[in-house]
Amino acid sequence: MINQNTCGAIIKQIHDELEKNANNALRPQGLTMAQVGALLVLRDAPEGRCSLKEMEQVLHVAQSTAAGIMVRLEQKGLVEGFGSPEDKRIKMVRITPTGEECCFRAEQSMEETEKRLLSGLTETERSIFNSLLVKVRDSI
């Protein structure tokens, strides 16, 4: 039997619960965490746009997955696709004002989730916990 109290198992349990809660919160809007992640990347990109190739690299997904995410977001009016002015073979995507509003709501939800996640810790413990998480992340 696998020990469910190892660091890796606990991190996975936390991740799974956060993902489930996030997807449940996003379901009424017809969105997934992957789609919101893509919107946040676009919102923070220069001029709110980037190439499909850049999206797949930043999101760490295959080209077909990035294209699928963008198609669904475009169908919802949250992004728009267009050809690069420099090279029409390059597919570009840009966030729309509706997509930006969605990012704002998603960030509010993420802040509430973060508060709930850390509610059992003191301010000092939160700082230490965050530092340790960063250290662990950077070591792998």
**Using CA atoms, how far apart are residues 100 and 43, in angstroms rounded to an integer?**
7
- Give the chain's radius of gyration (CA, Å): 18
Query: How does pLDDT run along the chain (140 residues), one tens digit per residue?
Result: 567 788 889 999 999 988 888 888 888 888 988 999 999 999 999 999 999 999 999 999 999 999 999 999 999 999 999 998 888 889 999 999 999 999 998 888 888 888 998 999 999 999 999 999 999 989 98
- Contact predicate 93/81, CB 8 Å: yes
